[in-house]
């Protein structure tokens, strides 16, 4: 009986020694808000992707990079699409859209994205020799509504006929002239406006 009593006295003493003040601060802070770090963003309608980033703010004042953990949404996917913070221009030539991030029931304030409209463009072949077959790079240069000129990176489709083969996309598009004769090289911009340019290339 003494053994049992001693055991429980020791147990009780251990218990009360181990007791202490109740913790009154959260040990895992809670989420306060989500924010896209960039506020007003613009890009040209034929640009390659740009990257945005998102931050989660906590109630204890700390924050963390949440870019890869949140859902990204564009209010108009014809103007721009967004995934994991990477913004890709849509199939429409310019416009405005809002980008938001969300996680369960929390959504960020929108970031305004302006896609600058293309007004006109020209196409050419770099270092082309009119009397020789060979591989040449195709180049399309656009003039935008802000009068800036840029090489077209996206939203352009190339087509050729006769004795030529086209490969690659965007600014790296190349054409291979494989025999003599006339070749039409045609580029089309944007599905919604079907802006088209053609050059006729002749190898004698």
Partner 1 sequence: MKKIIFSLLLFTSLYSDASIYIGSSYGYINEKFDTDHDAQSSSNMAKLKIGYGDRDAYGIEFSIDYIDNTSKIFSKQDGKKYAMNIELVKAFDFNTFVNPFFKVGFGSGFLDIQREFQTKLNYGSFNLGAGIFIPMNEHFELEVGYDYKAISYESIDTIVEKIRLSSNTNTIYMGFNVRF
Residues forming the site for partner 1 (CB under 8 A): 1, 4, 7-8, 11-12, 14-15, 18-31, 34, 56, 58, 64-66, 69-70, 103-106
Among 191, 184, 203, smallest CA distance to 138 is for 184
Q: Which residues contact 178 (CB under 8 A, 6 or more apart)?
A: 133, 163, 164, 165
Residue 135: phi, psi to the nearest 5?
-110, 130
| Minimum distance from residue 26 beta carbon to partner 1 (Å) | 6
| Closer of 13 and 172 to partner 1 (Cβ) | 13
Do 91 and 54 form a contact (C-beta atoms < 8 A)?
A: no
| Minimum distance from residue 191 beta carbon to partner 1 (Å) | 37
| Closer of 64 and 109 to partner 1 (Cβ) | 64
| Closer of 27 and 200 to partner 1 (Cβ) | 27
In angstroms, rounded to a whole number, what is the distance separating the alpha carbons of residues 159 and 199? 11
| Closer of 28 and 200 to partner 1 (Cβ) | 28
Among 21, 197, 203, 189, smallest CA distance to 91 is for 189
| Minimum distance from residue 38 beta carbon to partner 1 (Å) | 19
| Closer of 1 and 126 to partner 1 (Cβ) | 1
Q: Residue 16: exposed, middle, or buried by beta-carbon count in 10 A (0-12, 13-18, 19+)? A: exposed
| Minimum distance from residue 59 beta carbon to partner 1 (Å) | 9
| Minimum distance from residue 55 beta carbon to partner 1 (Å) | 10
| Closer of 66 and 185 to partner 1 (Cβ) | 66
| Minimum distance from residue 195 beta carbon to partner 1 (Å) | 43
């Amino acid at each position: 009986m003494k053994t049992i009593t001693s055991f429980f006295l020791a147990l009780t003493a251990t218990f009360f020694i181990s007791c202490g003040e109740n913790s009154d601060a959260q040990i895992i802070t809670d989420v306060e808000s989500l924010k896209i770090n960039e506020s007003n963003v613009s890009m040209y309608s034929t640009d390659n992707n740009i990257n945005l980033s998102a931050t989660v703010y906590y109630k204890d004042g700390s924050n963390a990079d949440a870019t890869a953990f949140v859902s990204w949404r564009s209010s108009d996917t014809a103007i721009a699409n967004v995934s994991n913070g990477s913004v890709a221009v849509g199939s429409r030539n310019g416009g405005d859209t809002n980008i938001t991030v969300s996680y369960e029931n929390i959504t960020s304030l929108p970031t305004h994205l302006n896609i600058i409209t293309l007004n006109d463009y020209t196409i050419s072949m770099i270092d082309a020799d009119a009397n020789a077959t060979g591989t040449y790079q195709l180049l399309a240069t656009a003039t935008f509504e802000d009068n800036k000129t840029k090489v077209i990176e996206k939203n352009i489709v190339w087509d050729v006929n006769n004795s030529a083969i086209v490969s690659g996309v965007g600014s790296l598009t190349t054409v291979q002239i494989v025999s003599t004769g006339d070749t039409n090289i045609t580029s089309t911009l944007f599905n919604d406006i079907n802006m088209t340019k053609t050059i006729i290339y002749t190898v004698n």
